[in-house]
């Protein structure tokens, strides 16, 4: 049945069921359902069309570029499915550089946790949480869903199950972090959550400690940026960063290498160096020769070429012939040139 012949209620209900197959994880699927519900409400019973879709998107012109890019992509996907595409109003995502995080700020957060005077039992958990975020680069949702069985003690690996895009990956762990993890999880069952927190609780906990430490700009994702930047600074390739951090595209991993930019730093440092002096190579630099230098240099070259012709006369319309015992001179050369022309 043609979608255009259906009521809006049936069209959008079919699209909601379609989203169940297009998205593999709950969070983006729920966001897509919420957004398409706003578009259905905007239409108020009118059938969807390209003009209405563009008008609806114009209400979000004040939002950040990445937000507008996500909304336009979702609505374009719906309109293409409906049979009235709007490919001419796509918004490209912003190519932002990762956040530059100072290790001293992360140290302050950890120190604030250690100085906690109440609920001492939670200190070990909170310190292990921020250290795990710092030295594995996992996302907040991946930390919240981490289970005891995902810690491979024998190979010292942390297994991320069902990460972003439903992808699994393995991350090697530092010996010190593995020891802390073993001690903390000793009394837990294999199927237990390591931290026992939800996604938003991980973010909220980090934000609370960051404010107490005097670094309110630090958030849960800051640890991930720090992890990627530190790998790049130590010469890790973009492919290795991609595997460790679970990036979908290599360009995302390359951003951390660009942020480290040691080669760009060395290029800028050259501005403080003295410019190299020009070395004389037999031919004066074009920017330094005066008119007289040009004339003398040309005459010297021409005299040399005429002297060479005495030994190897070329097929030329004139040749400088010297009398026996006569020495070449500039006056004689000028006379030869005058006779030739």
Q: What is the pLDDT of residues 96-112, one digit of tens each?
A: 778 889 999 999 999 99
What are 289-312's pLDDT values in tens digits? 455 666 666 777 777 777 676 656
Q: What is the pLDDT of residues 237-279, one digit of tens each?
A: 999 999 999 998 888 888 888 877 665 666 677 777 776 665 5
Residues 238 and 167 in one domain: yes
Tell me, yes or no, whether 223 lies in a domain.
yes
User: Mean pLDDT, to the nearest integer, of 132-148?
Assistant: 94
Has residue 7 got a pLDDT over 80?
yes
Into how many domains does the chain fold?
Answer: 3
Residue 275, domain member (yes or no): no
Residues 73 and 117 occupy one common structural domain: no
Q: What pLDDT does 276 receive? A: 65
Asked which of 81-90, 156-165, 198-207, 272-281 is least confident by mean pLDDT, the reply is: 272-281
pLDDT tops 70 at residue 121: yes
Task: Looking at the structure, tell me whether residues 76 and 49 fall in a common domain.
Answer: yes
Is 313 a domain residue?
yes
332 part of a folded domain: yes
**Average pLDDT of the chain to the nearest whole number:** 83
pLDDT tens track for 316-338: 444 545 555 555 555 655 555 55
Residues 213 and 301 in one domain: no
pLDDT tens sequence across 149-178: 999 999 999 999 988 877 899 999 999 999
pLDDT interval class at 287 (50, 70, 90): very low
Is residue 140 within 8 Å of 220, Cβ to Cβ? yes
Residue 284 is assigned to a structural domain of this protein: no
The predicted pLDDT at position 55 comes to 92
Predicted confidence band of residue 341 (pLDDT cuts 50, 70, 90): very low
pLDDT at 66: 87
The CATH number of the domain where 256 resides is what?
1.10.443.10
Q: For residue 264, what pLDDT is reported?
A: 66
Domain that holds residue 336: 291-340
pLDDT tens per residue, range 48-71: 999 999 999 999 989 988 889 999
Boundary residue ending a domain (222, 250, 265): 265
Is there a single domain that holds both residue 46 and residue 141?
no
Q: Does residue 116 share a domain with residue 7?
A: no
- Give domain status of residue 283, yes or no: no
Check whether residue 230 and residue 113 sit in a common domain: yes
pLDDT recorded at residue 288: 46
Q: What is the pLDDT of residue 317?
A: 46
Residue 259 lies in a domain: yes
Compute the average pLDDT of residues 183-203: 93
Query: pLDDT tier at 231 (50, 70, 90 boundaries)?
Result: very high
The residue from 64, 89, 114 where one domain ends is 89
pLDDT band, residue 206 (cuts 50/70/90): very high
**So what's the pLDDT on residue 290?**
56
Same domain flag for 114 and 252: yes
Which residue did the predictor score with more confidence, 286 or 9? 9
Residue 96 lies in a domain: no
Residue 36: the pLDDT is 93
Residues 109 and 233 in one domain: yes
Residue at a domain's end among 55, 89, 123 = 89
Mean pLDDT of 135-143: 94
Q: What is the mean pLDDT of residues 105-127?
A: 89
125 and 197 part of one domain: yes
Q: State residue 330's pLDDT score.
A: 56
Task: Verify that 146 and 255 share a domain, yes or no.
Answer: yes
pLDDT of residue 242: 92
Same domain, 111 and 252: yes
């Amino acid at each position: 049945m043609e979608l255009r012949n259906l009521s809006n209620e049936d069209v959008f209900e079919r699209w909601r069921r379609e989203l169940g197959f297009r998205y593999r994880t709950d969070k983006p699927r729920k966001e897509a359902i919420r957004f398409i519900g706003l578009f259905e409400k905007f239409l108020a019973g009118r059938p969807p069309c390209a003009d209405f879709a563009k008008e609806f998107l114009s209400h979000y012109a004040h939002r950040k570029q990445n937000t507008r890019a996500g909304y336009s992509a979702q609505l374009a996907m719906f309109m293409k499915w409906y049979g009235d595409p709007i490919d001419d109003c796509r918004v490209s995502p912003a190519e932002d550089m990762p956040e530059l995080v100072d290790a001293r700020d992360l140290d302050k957060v950890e120190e604030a946790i250690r100085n906690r005077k109440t609920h001492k039992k939670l200190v070990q958990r909170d310190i292990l949480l921020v250290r795990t975020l710092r030295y594995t680069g996992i996302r907040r949702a991946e930390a919240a869903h981490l289970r005891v069985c995902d810690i491979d003690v024998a190979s010292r690996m942390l297994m991320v199950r069902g990460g972003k895009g439903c992808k699994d990956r393995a991350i090697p762990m530092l010996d010190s972090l593995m020891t802390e993890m073993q001690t903390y999880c000793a009394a837990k069952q294999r199927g237990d959550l390591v931290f026992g927190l939800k996604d938003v609780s991980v973010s909220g906990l980090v934000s609370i400690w960051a404010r107490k430490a005097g670094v309110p700009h630090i958030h849960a994702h800051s640890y991930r940026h720090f992890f990627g930047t530190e790998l790049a600074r130590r010469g890790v390739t973009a492919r290795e960063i991609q595997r460790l951090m679970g990036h979908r595209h290599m360009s995302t991993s390359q951003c951390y290498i660009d942020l480290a930019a040691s080669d760009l730093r060395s290029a800028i440092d050259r501005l403080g160096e003295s410019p190299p002096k020009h070395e004389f190579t037999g031919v004066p630099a074009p920017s330094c020769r005066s008119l007289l230098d040009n004339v003398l240099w040309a005459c010297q070259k021409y005299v040399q070429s005429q002297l060479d012709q005495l030994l190897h006369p070329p097929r030329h319309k004139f040749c400088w012939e010297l009398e026996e015992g006569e020495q070449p001179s500039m006056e004689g050369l000028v006379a030869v040139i005058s006779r030739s022309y």
